[in-house]
Amino acid sequence: MLVLRLLNVVAPAYFLCISLVTFVLQIFLFIPSMFRDPSTTPLFSPALLHGALFLFLSANALGNYVLVIQSSPEDLGKGLNLGEGAEVVADWLGLCARVTQRHDHHCFFTGNCIGSRNMRNFIMFCLYTSLACLDSLVAGMAYISAALSMSFANPLAFLTLLPHSISQFFSGALLSSEMFVILMLYLWLGIGLACAGFCCHQMLLILRGQTRYQVRKGMVVRARPWRENLQEVFGKRWLLGLLIPVLNVGSDYRRQKEK
């Protein structure tokens, strides 16, 4: 339990640190390098469009991250009609001090349990984190391509970039900043793929009307149409939550809490 408690503190700090480094690299290194001549840059230049896209992805990722972790035991434990057969799992209560309705799993990167209240925000967090990492990966590859005068047209160029860069770095032919960016490329790739895979797997469970906890315990769930399962998590006004970070809009949880 001590190791889990430590991980519950280190993982969110690690995520926030990576987010800060990514923001600094994008704003102060990648985007400025896209401006060839700022005095003649058109209004809708690729650099400005890329900057706007990165800010949009980052705002949604960070906003949904905050909404995932803002739940408290009072919010979930008072005035909420759990209903007959609803599972309230306290397995992680000593770790994150949160009890959730329709418990799915405990996320160490948010330090919180994921359930019916924050499931949609958690999926949006994974989705936009994956897209932000992909955006940073592409921008970083463009920066390295220009800085080292190399091409990534051959897929093997990216696979051999790290060992080749390490040898160049220790021989003094590669700057520390360039080596740091190259290391971040592989980190963005790993985080992006992991978040995308986790998001896809979570969506499959939602379509089947299951949670990770139910699958792990071998529980049998009542079969329902997949549209109802999606609406239970994303609500009727799902498009609003797709564009901006908001709490579950029109979901069954909100209606239960208002009763």
- Catalytic residues, which ones? 107
- Determine the Cα–Cα distance for residues 124 and 94; give it in Å rounded to an integer: 27
| Dist. CA 239–CA 22, nearest whole Å | 27
Distance CA 25, CA 31 (A): 8
Question: How many CB atoms neighbour CB 136 within 10 A?
Answer: 27
Measured between alpha carbons, how far is 229 from 116 in angstroms, rounded to an integer? Answer: 11
Place of tokens 């921008």: 139
Collapsed DSSP state (helix, strand, coil) of residue 129: helix
Tokens of 48: 């400005």
